Chains A and B, each alone.
Chain A
Amino acid sequence: AQKITQTQPGMFVQEKEAVTLDCTYDTSDQSYGLFWYKQPSSGEMIFLIYQGSYDEQNATEGRYSLNFQKARKSANLVISASQLGDSAMYFCAIERSGGSNYKLTFGKGTLLTVNP
């Protein structure tokens, strides 16, 4: 079974500063994918960034980067230069790669508040 742990129920950051959202995972699979999603108050889930377990480089997408430490089973999301519109729930998720079961297992999320 796969499991995601997000230990920070809520985080606060000042506008224009960087923030790190923690995510640790547990899996017995050798091949897997890690995702981060953003959920604003409107409820939609927005895909942010992906890291494959065999990717040697940390993933980056604009202001988002993923600090992937495979040995520690952590996949922290770093948001640089925070903006007020970044205030939302953030979910980390893990997926088994390959095979026929394409399912995501989600953590409980971190509520990020960006202060002006």
Chain B
Amino acid sequence: DGGITQSPKYLFRKEGQNVTLSCEQNLNHDAMYWYRQDPGQGLRLIYYSQIVNDFQKGDIAEGYSVSREKKESFPLTVTSAQKNPTAFYLCATSSWGEAGNTIYFGEGSWLTVV
């Protein structure tokens, strides 16, 4: 199936541990994004990448790191420096089409830090 695959769906980690969330896409989209969503809130941009081996900080990059070694993959590492990591994380990709730069989302990953 074509689409965006995020894993794991649910993840529990102890405070102080780094954790990596996977995002893989087979849509052949150039741009990929990571968003964070807190309960009752909208989405906030963490990092984005428009081409392989290049990425930029979003609005809330502190405590996070990413890599873009392949077009298909954009993993997000939540480091111990992130003060409030418990949240819902959404990966997205985009391409230009009739609807401008439409962004498509994966199903998300729930991270709980205890």
Interface residues of A (CB under 8 A from B): 4, 33, 35, 37, 42-47, 50, 52, 91, 93, 95, 97, 100, 102-109
Contact = CB atoms under 8 A, between A and B. Distances in A.
Nearest to B105: A45
B81 to A, nearest CB: 23
Interface residues of B, number: 27
A94 to B, nearest CB: 11
Among B33, B41, B50, B100, max chain A CB count under 10 A is at B100
Contacts of B33: 103
B105 A44 contact: yes
Interface string B60-85: 00000000000000000000000000
* Dominant secondary structure of chain A at its interface with chain B: strand
Interface in B42-101: 42-45, 48, 50, 58, 88, 90, 92, 94, 98-101
Which 3 residue pairs across A and B have the least CB separation, nearest first? A50-B99, A106-B42, A45-B105
A47 B106 CA distance: 11
A42 B105 CA distance: 13
A44 B100 contact: no
Given A95-B100, A97-B101, A102-B101, A43 B88 contact: yes
A108 B40 contact: yes
A102 B102 contact: no
